Structure 1
Amino acid sequence: MRLRDALDDHKRNRDHPTRFPGERRTTAGLFSGAGGRLLHVAPDGGVRDFGYPLSGRFGLADSRFALRIDDPPADLDWDDDAVRRADDGTAVIEPGEGEQSYHASTTLVETVHETPVGGVRRFDLAVETDAGEAHVTRVAFDDAELADSLDASLLVGCTFAPEGRDARVGQLHHSRAVEVFHDRERDFLAAPDLDVIGGGLPAGPDAVLAPEPHERGADSLGDRREEDHLGGHVVASTGFADGVAAVATLLTDGVETDREAALETVDDLVEDVADVQKLRDLAVDGDAAVTVPSGVPRTNAAVDDLRVLSLLSAPTGMRIAGPDFDPHYVHSGGYGYTWFRDDAEISGFLLDADAAFDLGLEDWHRRSARAYLDTQLPDGTWPHRVWPRNGALAPGWANARMEAGENVEYQADQTASVVAFLARLLDRLPEDDPLAGEIAGAIDDGLDGLIASVADDHRPVACQNAWEDAGGRFTHTAARFLAAFSAVAALGAERFGRAVEAADRAALLYDSLDDLWVPDRGAFAVRERDDGSLDGRYDSATFALADAHRAYAAIGDVDDVRRDRLVSHVDATVDGLFHDPDASDVAGLVRYEGDGWRQRGQGHEKIWTVSTAWGANAAAEVAALLADADDARSEAFVDRSRELLDLVGPDGPLTVPGGFLPEQFFDDGTPDSATPLGWPHAIRLASTALLNDLGAFADRDEDPVPADD
């Protein structure tokens, strides 16, 4: 998002009660993605690229479409807000918000618009090609003959931002395409009979500084003769044939892909997608199509979860946390990076779900492992965050292990999460697998990195927390270390030479967790402060204790006292964080007591989907731990897990249309922040698998995936 656009949004939303000005929101609409292209399709048909972290190319800053009617019907309502009369007497109709859905298990987005001249159906699909990352749009009248009788054409207004530029941008006008470029990145707009109407330079200082938002239309922004060739904005039209119009965009590297190959690619795409079946075939064959075997409970949710995690993935396998809705870091620290906490936890959850449901994710697991091997630092740890497209170090604030001196600005739990995943994956690989030896070496180095962060009392030293907003000796960090040491120990000495050492570390850490118990709250503290006192607030990150103890149970004994404390902790934390505001139907868990982030004047902690899903997972993990001990309390925790999982389920109040889980919700039900957020989707999928193992869905009929049209 360019600064001009951010300032324009600020003018529109500076006084809005639930919108943070200057952001590009994705809480409504659907995404299509493939090969590093990540496209947001808004309900009104607007399109924006969010794929820079995945591909290194910026693409579309904005795209709009409208219908031009050369022969308007006599009964057309010119007072309709969707209709405006052009200077030449033609009608321009801008479709309002439509109904959106995905085609089967793919990322083909279908949007149905009702317009003053009839129904229009639009398909959008991101496509990976040899020339670069493409996107195709197919627009069709429900009544094909209507398009001819109206003499209709499709108007497209696109603003490209090659390499993130909104100035010093050039255009080349080819016979069926427009090429927009700055340096290496070259972006193409093509249609079968493309007619370029105009363009325009970016808004000048007067428009940027004016108190009112800037409106960009189809006309040029000034009278300079060269402006149509020196800006990223293109307005063009293309006709309907048999009621169908098609447009394609393509993002390329001008050094790696020659111009003729790019033009041929977009030409072929717009010809192919005129046939809706060819478009659907492209979607089904695409790398973002997902398959869920029959018999998986909550099949629709599983499809949504895998689709989201695929959309957020770079070709390397590493994932962004979510679409980067706040690229100027005005109200957040950015989301378009790979955090090893989120990513490794997601990888672990996928490992669980794959083992339970046979999802065929072996390639996903191996790509994740390769990415972690390639990004491990010499001291065995992993940095704060990296660019998912290439693993290069990304801007961050928690890289103390790479800087001179010693401080707490390091998130030790991230290394623990990676080590735990690698150990669990190694346990699944044959010993003669070439990747197994490399993983074992990374685990060996990772153990050294973890041990360097363990204090004399066997718990991790002070560092940053999971939410990246505080320092201290956190229970969540200790839980992740316990899970990591336990996973390595579970490999056994024959498979990994330091397994016994890891088991000893796990046992000592297990015992030391008693130091964090807060009796009057019936829960473990969120952290030990610098002065040695305990911070007794409830924090959803402490749900990590549940799966950590299940991991420890595979190599050691979880005694009765600790089981009782886990039962009490999960119960008390869920009750303490549960929030059911009167103003809406939303309900769920807040992140932690006293969380003031992104409240926008609400005056109460906001509900988080990751916290709610994590609570469901923790309850299921405790249920499994109790079941293994023949403890009758297991059934109650299964029920509690199902109740929380329903809140983030397909029909739950925390799931928005399209099956996406936003990060947060306001009390009035407005979704906010990164949407979709990958982490809760992975937790939801793994929790479903665990509950299924516990027999939680035996009494439920689950809806199947909708059949193809």
Structure 2
Amino acid sequence: MKLRTALRDYKETLGSETKFPGERRSTTGMFSGIDSRLVHVDRDGSLRDFSYPLTGLAGIESLSFGLRTAGEITWFDELDTEAQSYAEGTAVVETELTDGSVMIRQRDLTLDRAHVTNVEIDGAEDAELCVSVTFAPEATSTRVGQLTHPDALQVHHRREHDYLAASTEFETLLGQVPEEIEEVLDEDGPVEFPRAVDDGRYEQNKLGGTAFAAIPFENGSVTVVSLLTEIAETPQNDALDEVTSLATRYDSSETVLEAGRAQMPDWSSGLDDERIPTDDLRVLSLLSTHTGGRIAGPDFDPTYTYSGGYGYTWFRDDAEISRFLLEADMRTDLDLSAWHEASTQFYAETQRPDGTWPHRVWPCDGSLAPGWAHGRIEAGKEREGVDADDGPQDGSDYQADQTGSVVSFLATYLRVGSPTDPAQVEEIITDAIDGLDDTLDDDGLPQTAQNAWENMTGQFAHTAATFLHAYAAVARAPVDDELAAHAAEQADAVYDAIDELWMPERGAYAIRLQDGELDERLDSSALALAGAHHDYAAIGEIDDQRLDRLASHLSTTIEGLYRDSEESDVRGLFRFEGDEWRMRKQADEKIWTVSTAWGANSATKLARLLEEYDREEASELAECAEDLMEAIRPDGPLCLESTYLPEQFFDDGTPDCATPLGWPHALRLATETELTAMSGKDPRQATLADD
């Protein structure tokens, strides 16, 4: 996000009770296509690239469409949006707009590194489509130049070159002088484009990423294509041929839709509501790249103004997503084997020398990304002969649960999947167990580290759950006998140590131990204890006291974190007691979709476990899971019309933060398939991954 764009939004949203000025939101609109590039289509038809983490190419900073008739331009954001949806269940975004007399239908599809927009109009004669676009190659707005070819626009920095072409000849194609510093700081409001600026500097409109184009319709239709390239891979002439060819090939609404149909896999699953696998897998495809890595969500705050950024791969939620997809695949005919293998290879390539995984990486190449939890790297934990006590870092700014989550997936995949190279997977697991062992205290609890929410340190119930799950999963896997036995012993040690986190007065496990004292708050991430014990039950005996505590913990935590908003119909779980993040003027903690989905999934897991022990609480937890699922299912209060689950909601119903967030989508799919199997509706329930 560039300074001019950030300040433009700042001017437009300053004073809002639910918007953070200067962000680039995706809480409205939809993303098109499921290929590598990630392009957002807002409800007014405007476009913006969120592609950089997935492709290394930044592309469109902003693009707006307008209609010019009789010399006057009406921009689409001045029109009424009648509807926006995925056409025919594909990833083609169809947006319908009107001003009462003119009807406009816009269809958008991303195809690899190209984005195609077809616009059809009805009710306007001799109209032209206007385009105001700003490219930001290599995520910069400085030292950018543009070339105006007869049939295309080319905007370039050094490595990245971006192109724009149309299915009919440009009537107008010219560069635009960006806002001057005084204009950016002016309180009167953002500068409107197109504009004519003439101060005697004839080169100005060639030294920036902003341009204006006017394109005539042909039989009421016109197509605009943008293409992102690396000059070393795609020379200029090849890129020009490609972008103009694409504009010709997809010169109608129907050809765009045909391409969208061909792009979508068959994600039939046998569930009662087939929207869930289609919606969830489409979202996870949007957030994925060719390496197998995923971003957590579209990066709405790349300048870290209000957050630490979202356009990276975190191994916690990425590996959890991988495991949930594996579970869902085992219960259905989705055939996600290529996804599992891609994730496995990504984890193999990003594992650190000490067997652990870092805070976060760039998904497009697996390289180390900016972060605040690279404590093991800073403390020299990976380097022989370096004593952490000799320096300022002790390694506690490390998120040990991330390594635990990766191990749980890999061990489960080795047990129930079909890895291309099982020996490689076992080798990764063996090294990772060394990393887990190194971060496990003698008392059986993971050492002091950062939590799942990345905002505090301590010995967390959630981190203990991921360690228990990881060790149990390895003990169950077809690995070397000595490794399996060691993992079982470690699982027993963690199982016993979890008692240190019990709060008798509250009937739940605490969020953490800090300096030997219990932090007696409820935490939705501690719900992960249910799934961990479900796996542990396959290798060890769970005693009655632990079953009592788990049942009490789930009920107490879900009840304590559940809120039904009085201002709107949103309802669900918030993260943890006392969570003040991104509250603005709201008095209470915000509702999170991942916490709500986690509650549903954990209640389902524990219901199955308690059923095996003939416990009466099982049916009650199954009902709780169904109730929480209703909040996140399609048409539920936490699911947007776009089909997306945003990370958070304000009490007034306004979605906030990363949208869509991949983690709750994977949780929803896995939980839905498990609930279906538990109900006896799914004939494939015998193939459950966690039986």
User: What is the one-letter code of the residue matched to 1:227?
Assistant: Q
Equivalent residue for 2:285, pick from 305, 310, 319 = 310
Alignment of 1:592-631 (within 5 A): 592-631=576-615
Once residues 409 and 437 of structure 1 are traced to their aligned partners in structure 2, the CA distance between those partners, rounded to angstroms, is 32
Moved more, 213-222 or 231-240: 213-222
1:520 aligned counterpart, secondary structure = coil
The equivalent residue for 2:686 is none
Q: Give, in whole Å, the separation in 1 of the partners of 2:664 and 2:639.
A: 11
Q: Structure 2 matches for 1:533-552, cutoff 5 A?
A: 533-552=517-536
Pick from 648, 657, 672 the counterpart of residue 664 of structure 1: 648
Q: Which residue of 2 aligns with 1:464?
A: 450
Query: Are 1:438 and 2:424 an aligned pair?
Result: yes
Aligned-partner SS, 2:110: strand
How far has the Cα of 1:202 moved from its partner? 2.2
- Superposed displacement of residue 34, structure 1: 4.2
**2:511 counterpart of 1:526:** yes
Q: Deviations over 1:142-200 (max 9, x none)?
A: x4xx44xx111111111101111213211111121100111111100101212334322
Q: Is the 8 A contact 1:66 1:156 kept in 2?
A: yes
**Does structure 1 residue 408 correspond to structure 2 residue 408?**
no
Quick check: 1:196 aligned with 2:180? Answer: no
Q: Retained in 2: the 8 A contact 1:321–1:679?
A: yes
Residue in 1 that maps onto 2:385? none
Structure 2 CA distance for partners of 1:497 and 1:281, relative to 1, 3 Å: farther
Say which of 93, 105, 120 aligns to 2:104: 120
**Structure 1 residue 41 corresponds to structure 2 residue 21:** no
For the 8 Å contact 2:563–2:571, the answer to whether it is kept is yes
* Distance in 2, Cα, partners of 1:34 & 1:353: 20
1:282 aligns with 2:268: no
Q: Secondary structure at 2:505's aligned position in 1?
A: helix
1:208 lines up with 2:208 in the alignment = no
- Find the aligned partners of 1:295 and 1:311 in 2 and give their Cα distance: 23
Contact 2:64 2:132 in 1 (8 A): yes
> Match of 1:454, SS?
coil
How many pairs align?
666
Give the deviation of 1:284 after TM superposition: 2.3
Matching residue of 1:23: 23
In 1, Cα distance between equivalents of 2:424 and 2:141: 44
8 Å CA contact 1:66, 1:95 repeated in 2: no
Q: Is the 8 A contact 2:502 2:509 kept in 1?
A: yes
2:4 alignment counterpart: 4
1:428 paired residue number: 416
Counterpart for residue 362 of structure 1: 337
User: Once structures 1 and 2 are overlaid, which stretch shifts more, 155-164 or 367-376?
Assistant: 155-164
* Paired amino acid for 1:361: L
In the alignment, the residues of structure 2 paired with residue 195 and residue 252 of structure 1 have an alpha-carbon distance, to the nearest angstrom, of: 25
Q: Equivalents in 1 of 2:585, 2:431: separation in Å? A: 46
Q: Residue 201 and residue 697 in structure 1: after superposition, are their counterparts in 2 closer, same or farther (change >3 A)?
A: farther
Query: Match for residue 391 of structure 2?
Result: none
* Secondary structure, counterpart of 1:37 in structure 2: coil
463-472 vs 551-560, greater mean Cα deviation: 551-560
Query: Hey, what's the Cα distance between the residues in 2 that align with 1:616 and 1:181?
Result: 48
Partner residue in 2 for 1:137: 117
Name the aligned partner's letter for residue 633 of structure 1: E
* Shift, 1:351, TM fit: 0.4
TM superposition score normalised by structure 1: 0.92
The letter of the residue matching 2:195 is: D
Match of 1:504 in 2: 489
Which secondary structure does the structure 1 equivalent of 2:38 belong to?
strand
Q: Structure 2: how far apart are the matches of 1:665 and 1:650? A: 16
Cα offset, 1:697, TM superposition: 6.7
2:216 is equivalent to residue 236 of structure 1? no
Q: Does residue 1:167 correspond to 2:142, yes or no?
A: yes
SS at match of 1:188: strand
Greater CA drift, 482-491 or 90-99: 90-99
Tell me which moved more, 61-70 or 94-103: 94-103
Amino acid at match of 2:115: H
Percent of residue pairs bearing the same amino acid type:
48
Deviation at 1:630, TM superposition (A): 2.6
Query: What is the rounded CA distance, in whole Å, between the counterparts of 2:443 and 2:665 in structure 1?
Result: 36
Match for residue 671 of structure 2? 687
Q: Distance in 2 between matches of 1:353 and 1:331?
A: 35
Distance in 2 (CA, whole Å) between partners of 1:497 and 1:285 is 49
Task: After TM superposition, give the deviation of residue 458 of structure 1 in Å.
Answer: 1.0
Deviation at 1:281, TM superposition (A): 2.3
Q: CA deviation at 1:298?
A: 2.3
| Other-structure match for 1:516 | 501
Match of 1:491 in 2: 477
CA drift at 1:285 = 2.5
Listed one character per residue, the Cα deviations across residues 433-479 of structure 1 (whole Å, up to 9, x for unaligned) are: 65211111100000000000011101101000000000000000000
User: Helix, strand or coil: the match of 2:88?
Assistant: coil
User: Is the 2:356–2:435 Cα contact (8 Å) retained in structure 1?
Assistant: yes
Q: 1 CA distance for matches of 2:350 and 2:149?
A: 42
State whether residues 48 and 63 of structure 1, in contact with CA within 8 Å, keep that contact through their aligned partners in structure 2: yes
Unaligned runs of 5+ in 2: 380-387, 389-393, 683-691
Q: Is the 8 A contact 1:426 1:439 kept in 2?
A: yes
2:60 corresponds to: 60
Match in the other structure for 1:578: 562
Q: Return closer, same or farther for 1:24/1:496 CA change in 2, 3 Å cut-off.
A: farther
1:399 CA drift (Å) = 0.7
Contact 2:135 2:162 in 1 (8 A): yes
Q: Runs of 4+ in structure 1 displaced over 6 angstroms?
A: 90-93
94-103 vs 609-618, which deviates more?
94-103
Q: Is the 8 A contact 1:152 1:239 kept in 2?
A: yes
Corresponding position of 2:467: 481
Alpha-carbon separation, structure 2, partners of 1:252 and 1:95 = 33
Indicate conservation of the 8 Å contact 1:351/1:365, yes or no: yes
Aligned counterparts of 1:212 and 1:414: Cα–Cα separation in 2: 47
- Look up the SS of the partner of 1:425 in the other structure: helix
Q: How far 1:52 sits from its partner (Å)?
A: 0.2
Q: For each residue in 1:396-455, what CA deviation from the matched residue of structure 2 results, as whole angstroms up to 9, or x when unmatched?
A: 01011111332310000000000111111111345xx65211111100000000000011
Deviation of 1:212 (Å): 3.1
CA drift at 1:569: 0.4
The equivalences for 1:75-90 within 5 A come to 86=72
Whole-angstrom CA distance in 2 between matches of 1:506 and 1:213: 60
TM-score by length of 2: 0.94
1:323 to 2:298 alignment? yes
Q: Which moved more, 1:380-389 or 1:395-404?
A: 395-404
Output one character per residue of 1:350-404: Cα deviation in whole Å (capped at 9) or x when no partner.
Answer: 0000111121100000000000000000000000000000000000010111113
Distance in 2 of aligned mates of 1:17 and 1:204: 30
- Matching residue's letter, 1:158: V
- Aligned partner letter, 1:516: L
Specify the SS of the correspondent of 1:508: helix
Q: What residue number does 2:384 align with?
A: none
d(CA) in 2 for partners of 1:585, 1:8:
32
Cα distance in 1 for partners of 2:596, 2:74 equals 49
Tell me, what secondary structure is at the counterpart of 1:237?
Answer: strand
Q: Helix, strand or coil for the counterpart of 2:228?
A: strand
Do residues 635 (structure 1) and 610 (structure 2) align? Answer: no
For residue 685 of structure 2, what is the aligned residue in structure 1? none
Q: CA 1:166–1:96 in structure 2 vs 1: closer, same or farther (change >3 Å)? A: farther
Deviation for aligned residue 1:36 = 2.3
- Tell me, what secondary structure is at the counterpart of 1:172? strand
Aligned AA for 1:412? A
- Kept in 2, the 8 Å contact 1:38–1:51? The answer is yes
SS in 2 for 1:510: helix
- Aligned residue runs from structure 1 range 321-360, under 5 A: 321-360=296-335
